[in-house]
Chain A
């Protein structure tokens, strides 16, 4: 017999590296990629903490004076705050109306009763860690909360889009024929309309009627319903490529079912493409959400996101208040940069050529 190798006495299950383990090892060696990963994980943790209320719970409380200065600029002039204070002071005219006021005798009684109830009236502070916005809300807390909203919207939108695009792409690529024709027709409709127009159309209907849901549901729906086309294209191409590969033919030869071939055999071989695309879509959707929220079609007014912060920041810059712009802009820039670099590193680490 043409045996080449001797058999070991007993077969021990060994740690054999699969694709993900290999990719992880490769990623670990990529220093820049690891740093980006850490940053992204940090933002994700911050998002969870913010969501559960651990931090930034009171972002909407007006703790500071109007346009409070950041702590590192404590001594600077705050004309607006002074103007507000003066306005408040000027509001109460001291006119004694006790002779015509029927309630006048009761005031003293009520004042005494009110004094008994301890009410904590928070005094508005002059400075906040990263400054305050027009209503004195803490910019730092807003930024954290805004991160939560923007990232959550981006991530869920991307996950949904990935799901839709993968299922459509798998069906179109694997089954082919009329099924493929249908999905291609569907895809062509969505891609003939310029992306911005498509989003704005959905946004128009969403804001005009309430039919897409409340809160952040509309914007997540809009982003995922319009953004699945990219991943569809990729997954369809991958499935077409793999359907004719010999290992799939072999699976057919041994009698594996269609469903098995589509999802047990092919999907693990193309999931890395989906992962990279998910990462890219998240970035794209975060950017889109910011712009939409800026225009007023994104998250509702009672929530904060980077987009709403930038909307406010537009007018603040002219009067010299730059901290909201800087905070939102910088937070977003850091996350998006880290995510983009992570996407590239992921792609390199998952490089299938090494198989």
Chain B
């Protein structure tokens, strides 16, 4: 297995370099001279000159690329073009609030989706099944924005159960007061597509030959679902969760924007508004690396979930 891990890490290197290259091409080459980008946004000419010097704008491109690569590996992207805060500091402080929201969302949503999907798969074909699926389809077609606007208005403004916006310094206060509404919202909206997807996973498994064998052995239908089918369906379900795992770090930027949560997502949106390139570049590159690492961990974990997987 160590050979497998080493080979995977070896394979990750060209991809990481590719990501760096892509971001560089996008921001430094297409994006061009910071002077033009920031014209009208920063009035201080010295500041602009500073930035230009740091990036090496007047140097040939390969030098600029080298600067960027250095930045990535030393974790030092300089300072934000708009707030002048150190980019690394920005990244580290904003991750916390994002995770405070997203981790509970992931856990609650996945568990609920699996439970409901089993239930729906059990009664497949009946009116209950079809009506739930129709509700899901319609629910999925309403924009997330509409949900946020309505929920905020309903629960925060009208009913006053939760504060409409805000964040505090204390973790527990956040979890108890400020987080519940956004978490509830995210779970509510995310449930419909996941339920549909997981239901299809369960149905795929139910049609397999080994289910017929289990029934032929006299295994009662409930046990067929909960033991035989569930165990097999967990494989695609875990694949699905693994795909969403990196997204946990970015968070739902819409939620953060609407609820004024100082998380990574909101930070990126603000940066886009202000053309604050260093922040965007840093977040993008590091999240790409995190994604690759998570993928590797998940693939290794697969061995314990799916016995058919072998490492070559």
Contact = CB atoms under 8 A, between A and B. Distances in A.
B146 A325 contact: yes
Contacts, number: 134
Nearest to A199: B272
Nearest to A202: B26
B30 interface: yes
Interface residues of B, number: 50
A287 B146 CA distance: 11
Residue picked from A204, A297, A325, A340, most chain B C-beta under 10 Å? A204
B254 A291 contact: yes
A283 B142 CA distance: 11
B15 A185 contact: yes
A306 interface: yes
Interface string A191-207: 11110111011111101
Given A189-B18, A189-B22, A209-B37, A196 B146 contact: no
A207 B41 CA distance: 13
Contacts of A176: none
Nearest to B258: A314
Contacts of A196: 247, 250, 253, 265
B291 A193 contact: yes
Chain B contact residues: helix, strand, loop or mixed: helix
A329 B142 contact: yes
B146 A193 contact: no
A295 interface: yes
Contact of B30 (A198, A203, A205, A334): A205
Given A295-B269, A318-B153, A208 B141 contact: no
Contacts of A193: 19, 284, 287-288, 291
Interface of A: 185-186, 188-194, 196-198, 200-205, 207-209, 211, 283, 287, 290-291, 294-297, 306-307, 310, 313-314, 317-318, 325, 329, 332-337, 339-341
25 contacts: A185-B14, A189-B19, A189-B22, A190-B22, A193-B284, A194-B249, A194-B291, A197-B283, A197-B284, A200-B268, A209-B31, A209-B37, A211-B30, A291-B144, A291-B254, A297-B272, A306-B143, A313-B149, A325-B146, A329-B142, A332-B146, A334-B141, A339-B141, A340-B137, A341-B137
